[in-house]
Amino acid sequence: MAAQSEDSQPSFSGYSILVYLIQMLSHLLNGYLTAFFVFTGIVLNIFSIYIFLRCERGGTPAIQYYLVTLTMWQTALLANAFLLYSLPHLLFGHLVSTGTYVHIYPYVYTFANTTHTGSVWIVLTLTIDRYLALCQPLKHRAIGKKSRVKRLMVIVSLLAVLFSLPRFFEVEVITFTNQQNEINIGIDRTSLFDNKIYWTVYHIILAMLFVTLCPCLLLFALTLRISLALRTAIAKRKSLCAPNAEVDVRSKKCHSARVNSKKEHKSNIMLVLVIAKFLVSDILPTVIDVLEHLVGQQAFMRSPLASLFVDVSNFLIVLNCSSNFWVFIIWGKRFRKSCRQLVLSTACGISIYRLANLGSDPDVSYCAPSSFTTIQNTTKIYGSDGRSIRHKQEKNENEKSNERTIVVLPVEKTRTKSSSDDDKTPGWDFEKATQLEQLEKQRLIPPQ
C-alpha cells in the first residue's frame, strides 16, 4: 500500500502541474491577449467602416456592402468577447458565476451567439457572391446589384437575430443562500436548456446545419472552387493578351484589359483571404462543438484540455475578427489610397508624412526612370524609335519653322527583278506620285 501511494504521488503532482499550466495559459489567452486584440480590432474595424462609407461618395462597389456588414458584426463580436471572457479574467482572475457581474451574462451570452451566427452567414453570402461572379457571371450580373445586396444584408442580419433569440431563455440570474446564510446572486441554466428535445433539435440539428458543420463544409468547397477559377482566369488572361501584339491599338487594349483584370484579381484575392481566414478560425470551434455533442457536455467540460481547446478556439475567433484591416490595407488598392488621403487630410498626418520624408530630396523622384534601369523600346511594331514624345514634338516644330517642303522629282523607271519569272514588266507607281503632287499643291507654304 505504501508503495502504491509513493507511485501515485508523482503522477498526481504531474497532473497538478499540468492543470496549473493550463489555467495559466487560459488566463493569458482570455485576459491580456484577448483584451489587446479586442481593443486594436475595434479601433481598426471602426476605421475600416469609415473608409468604406467614405468611399461611397465616389461610387461604392456592391462588394463593399458585404465587407461593411461583416465588419460591423465582427466588431460587435469583439465587444461581447471582451465582456464575456476578458474582463472577468482581468477583474477577478477567472470566469465568475456569482456576484453582481452575472447580471449582464444573459444579454452578452445571447448577443455573442448572435454576432457569431451573423458573421458566419455574411461570410457565406460573400462566398456565394464571389462564386457566382467568377463561375457564373451572367447570373451574378442579374442578382448582384447594389439595391439587392443592401436588402440581402438586412435580411440576413435579421434572420441571425431571430435564430439566436432562444439563447436568451437558456440562462437566468438567480438568488441563493450560501452556507453562511448570505444571499448571493448567480447564473444558472433554465429548464429549457435541460430539455432533451430542445437540445437535440436546436443545438445539434439546427446549429450544425446553419452555423457550424454545414456552413464550414460549404465554405471550404466554394473557396476551393473560387481558387481554381482564379487560377484559370489568370492563365486565360495571359493567353489572350500576349506581350508581342502585332498592332499598336491592340496592344493598348490588351494593356488596359490586363491592368483591369489585375485589379479585379487582387480584389478577388483579398476577398478569398477574408473567407479563408474566417474558415481557418472557425474550424476548431466546429470540431469542438461536434466532440461535445458526441462525448456529452458534462464529460467534455470536466477535461482540462477540453477547456483549453475552448479558450484557444475563442481566441482564434477574436484574432480573425481583429485582423481584417490588415488584409484590406495590403490587398485593397482603393482602400489603401483612401487611407492615405484621409491621413494626409489631417494636420497630424501631414506632420508624420513630413517627418518620414525629412531626409529626402524634393527635386529627386525615386520613381523616375533612369538610363541605367530603363531599356528603350526600339521595336518598329509599336512605332517607337526609343525617343521621347517631347523630342518628337520639338522636331516637328523645328521642321515647321524651317518651312521645309517635300518636292517630288521625276525619276526614271526603276527595274525590279522578279524571283519567279521575267515576263512581269517593272514600272513606277504613278498613282502614288500623283497623290503626292496633289498633297504638295494643297500645302499652305509653296515649294521653293
Question: What is the secondary structure of 81-141 as a DSSP string?
Answer: HIIIIIHHHHHHSS--SBSGGGGGHHHHHHHHHHHHHHHHHHHHHHHHHHHHHHH-HHHHH
pLDDT of residue 198: 93
pLDDT of residue 227: 85
User: Looking at the domain assignment, is residue 88 inside a domain?
Assistant: yes
- Is residue 230 helix, strand or coil? helix
Q: Torsion angle, CA of 59/63/67/73, rounded to 10 degrees?
A: 110
User: Looking at the domain assignment, is residue 344 inside a domain?
Assistant: no
Identity of the residue numbered 421? D
Residue keyed to cell 483584370: 261
pLDDT of residue 378: 40
Give the Cα separation of 146 and 168 in Å (integer).
Answer: 34
Beta carbons of 132 and 159 less than 8 angstroms apart? no
Greatest CA separation found in the chain?
Answer: 129
Give the Cα separation of 253 and 281 in Å (integer).
Answer: 42
Give the Cα separation of 47 and 73 in Å (integer).
Answer: 14
Identity of the residue numbered 210? F
User: Looking at the domain assignment, is residue 402 inside a domain?
Assistant: no
Give the Cα separation of 350 and 437 in Å (integer).
Answer: 63
Query: b/e string for 280-298 if b means 16 or more Cβ within 10 A?
Result: ebbbbbbebbeebbeeeee
Domain residues for the domain of 86 are 36-242+250-337
Grid cell at residue 317: 475567433
| Sequence-ordered alpha helix ranges (H) in 169-247 | 191-194, 196-198, 207-210, 213-240
Give the Cα separation of 167 and 116 in Å (integer).
Answer: 13
Give the Cα separation of 122 and 303 in Å (integer).
Answer: 34
Grid cell at residue 264: 479585379
Beta carbons of 100 and 65 less than 8 angstroms apart? no
User: Looking at the domain assignment, is residue 7 inside a domain?
Assistant: no
Q: Centre a 10 Å sphere on the Cβ of residue 60 and count the other Cβ atoms it contains.
A: 15
pLDDT of residue 56: 55
Cβ neighbors of 436 (< 8 A, separation 6 or more) are 406, 408
User: Looking at the domain assignment, is residue 306 inside a domain?
Assistant: yes
Identity of the residue numbered 264? E
Give the CA distances from residue 231 to residues 74, 218, 269, 285, in Å, rounded to whole numbers and listed in that order: 30, 20, 11, 30
Give the Cα separation of 238 and 208 in Å (integer).
Answer: 42
Q: Torsion angle, CA of 288/224/274/65, rounded to 10 degrees?
A: -110
Total structural domains within the chain: 1
Give the CA distances from residue 132 to residues 154, 175, 182, 364, in Å, rounded to whole numbers and listed in that order: 20, 54, 62, 47
Beta carbons of 183 and 177 less than 8 angstroms apart? yes
User: Looking at the domain assignment, is residue 376 inside a domain?
Assistant: no
Query: Can you give the pLDDT of all 448 residues of the chain as single tens digits?
Result: 444 444 444 445 666 887 788 888 888 999 999 999 999 999 999 999 999 887 655 556 788 899 999 999 999 999 999 999 999 999 988 888 888 899 999 999 999 999 999 999 999 999 999 899 888 888 888 787 888 999 999 999 999 999 999 999 999 999 888 878 888 899 999 999 889 899 889 988 999 999 988 999 999 999 889 888 888 877 777 776 655 544 444 455 555 555 555 566 677 788 888 888 898 888 888 888 888 777 777 777 777 788 888 899 999 999 999 999 999 998 888 888 888 888 888 888 788 777 776 655 444 333 444 433 343 444 443 344 445 445 555 555 555 554 444 444 444 444 444 444 444 444 455 566 666 666 666 554 444 4
In this prediction the pTM is: 0.71
Q: Which residues are registered as beta bridge partners of 112?
A: none
pLDDT of residue 303: 79
CATH number at residue 140: 1.20.1070.10
Grid cell at residue 327: 488584409
- Is residue 24 helix, strand or coil? helix
Give the Cα separation of 214 and 203 in Å (integer).
Answer: 14
Residue 294 has φ and ψ, to the nearest 5°, of: -75, -45
Give the Cα separation of 402 and 448 in Å (integer).
Answer: 12
Q: What is the 3-state secondary structure (H, E, C) of 36-92?
A: HHHHHHHHHHHHHHHHHHHHHHHCCCCHHHHHHHHHHHHHHHHHHHHHHHHHHHHHH
User: Looking at the domain assignment, is residue 324 inside a domain?
Assistant: yes
User: Looking at the domain assignment, is residue 214 inside a domain?
Assistant: yes
State the burial class of residue 26 (Cβ atoms within 10 Å of its Cβ: 0-12, 13-18, 19+). Answer: buried
